[in-house]
């Protein structure tokens, strides 16, 4: 059984920022090193971002999953001072659901099943909802910065964070997409407080909430909901 994470906002924390990726001209950036994913601001500050791509997938039971989650919170609390976990949202989130609905609708249509029309209606609704941005895809990133623009030290810190999180069972990858890196760099403000609550479901794809991971730099903790 796996872990499934969902993010939601708390009124006492920084709201999840909508992230609109575009190729617009920027005014605060001077250089984007696409190969290394380093963005340099006009102030001389350098920034880079690591995208969280997945968590440890399998646990024997809720107790084992909760133990891993508490270890992850401890790992977050030991990130360096120039690294912070942020959450950003964008239109999307129904890609997998639409694929499943499309496959089901196609199969039922071929077999002329009585529910073929209903399946097509569900597919049209999901596609419309998805394309109009009524649902959100939330992603997490580790944002790192060097006020003096030292890209070498910045990338060394990013490599250390990558190793640290990998050891904790978290998959990460550097953001090297030019538009995404530019948008993140313009949007993120290190001086603003960071924090969000991550709702952890177990088993995966269930509606059972195992715990809330309450993230705040160096003060993250786990609030269990139910452990049998």
**56 part of a folded domain:** yes
**219 part of a folded domain:** no
Judgement on whether residues 86 and 152 belong to the same structural domain of the protein: yes
* Residue that finishes a domain, picked among 110, 131, 152: 131
List residues bridging with 213 in a β-sheet. 198, 222
**227 part of a folded domain:** no
What confidence score (pLDDT) does residue 155 get?
A: 95
Average pLDDT over residues 53-82: 89
What confidence score (pLDDT) does residue 108 get?
A: 76
Whether residue 50 is predicted with pLDDT greater than 80 in this model: the reply is yes
**226 part of a folded domain:** no
CA 28, 30, 34, 37 torsion-angle sign: negative
Judgement on whether residues 62 and 79 belong to the same structural domain of the protein: yes
Q: 92: pLDDT confidence band, cut at 50, 70 and 90?
A: low
Report which of residues 25 and 217 the model is more confident about. 217
Cβ-Cβ contacts under 8 Å for 148 (sequence gap 6 or more)? 44, 45
Judgement on whether residues 56 and 120 belong to the same structural domain of the protein: no
Judgement on whether residues 157 and 87 belong to the same structural domain of the protein: yes
Report which of residues 3 and 192 the model is more confident about. 192
Whether residue 7 is predicted with pLDDT greater than 80 in this model: the reply is no
What confidence score (pLDDT) does residue 150 get?
A: 95
Q: Is 78 exposed, middle or buried (0-12, 13-18, 19+ CB in 10 A)?
A: exposed
Judgement on whether residues 154 and 167 belong to the same structural domain of the protein: yes
40-54, 162-176, 213-227: which has the minimum mean pLDDT?
Answer: 213-227
Judgement on whether residues 42 and 112 belong to the same structural domain of the protein: no
What confidence score (pLDDT) does residue 133 get?
A: 57
Judgement on whether residues 205 and 103 belong to the same structural domain of the protein: no
Judgement on whether residues 109 and 77 belong to the same structural domain of the protein: no
What confidence score (pLDDT) does residue 23 get?
A: 43
21-30, 184-193, 198-207: which has the minimum mean pLDDT?
Answer: 21-30
**224 part of a folded domain:** no
**75 part of a folded domain:** yes
Judgement on whether residues 147 and 194 belong to the same structural domain of the protein: yes
* Residue that finishes a domain, picked among 104, 131, 158: 131
Percent of the chain predicted with pLDDT > 90: 41
196-201 and 4-8 strand pairing: antiparallel
Query: Which range marks the domain in which residue 40 is found?
Result: 4-91+137-214
Judgement on whether residues 102 and 120 belong to the same structural domain of the protein: yes
Q: Tell me if 6 sits within 8 A of 199, measured CB to CB.
A: yes
Question: Long-range contacts: 201-204, Cβ < 8 Å, 24+?
Answer: 201/3, 201/4, 201/5, 201/6, 202/1, 202/2, 202/3, 202/4, 202/59, 202/62, 202/65, 203/1, 203/2, 204/1, 204/2, 204/3, 204/4, 204/57
Judgement on whether residues 58 and 16 belong to the same structural domain of the protein: yes
Judgement on whether residues 56 and 115 belong to the same structural domain of the protein: no
* Residue that finishes a domain, picked among 116, 131, 146: 131
**108 part of a folded domain:** yes
The total number of structural domains in the chain stands at: 2
**171 part of a folded domain:** yes
Q: Is 88 exposed, middle or buried (0-12, 13-18, 19+ CB in 10 A)?
A: buried
């Amino acid at each position: 059984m796996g872990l499934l994470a969902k993010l939601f906002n708390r009124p006492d924390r920084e709201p999840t920022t909508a992230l609109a990726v575009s190729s617009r001209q920027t005014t605060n950036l001077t250089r984007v090193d696409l190969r290394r994913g380093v963005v340099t601001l006009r102030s001389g500050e350098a920034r880079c971002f690591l995208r969280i791509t997945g968590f440890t997938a399998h646990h024997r039971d809720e107790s084992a999953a909760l133990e891993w989650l508490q270890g992850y919170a401890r790992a977050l609390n030991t990130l360096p001072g120039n690294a912070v976990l942020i959450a950003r949202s964008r239109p999307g989130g129904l890609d997998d659901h639409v694929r499943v609905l499309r496959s089901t609708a196609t199969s039922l249509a071929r077999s002329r099943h009585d529910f073929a029309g209903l399946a097509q209606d569900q597919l049209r609704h999901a596609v419309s909802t998805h394309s109009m941005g009524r649902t959100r895809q939330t992603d997490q990133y580790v944002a790192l910065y060097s006020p003096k623009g030292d890209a070498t030290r910045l990338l060394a810190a990013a490599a250390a964070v990558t190793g640290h999180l990998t050891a904790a069972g978290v998959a990460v990858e550097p953001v090297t997409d030019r538009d995404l890196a530019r948008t993140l760099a313009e949007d993120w403000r290190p001086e603003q407080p960071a924090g969000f609550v991550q709702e952890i479901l177990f088993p995966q794809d269930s509606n059972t909430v195992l715990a809330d991971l309450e993230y705040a730099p160096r003060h993250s903790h786990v609030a269990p909901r139910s452990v049998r």
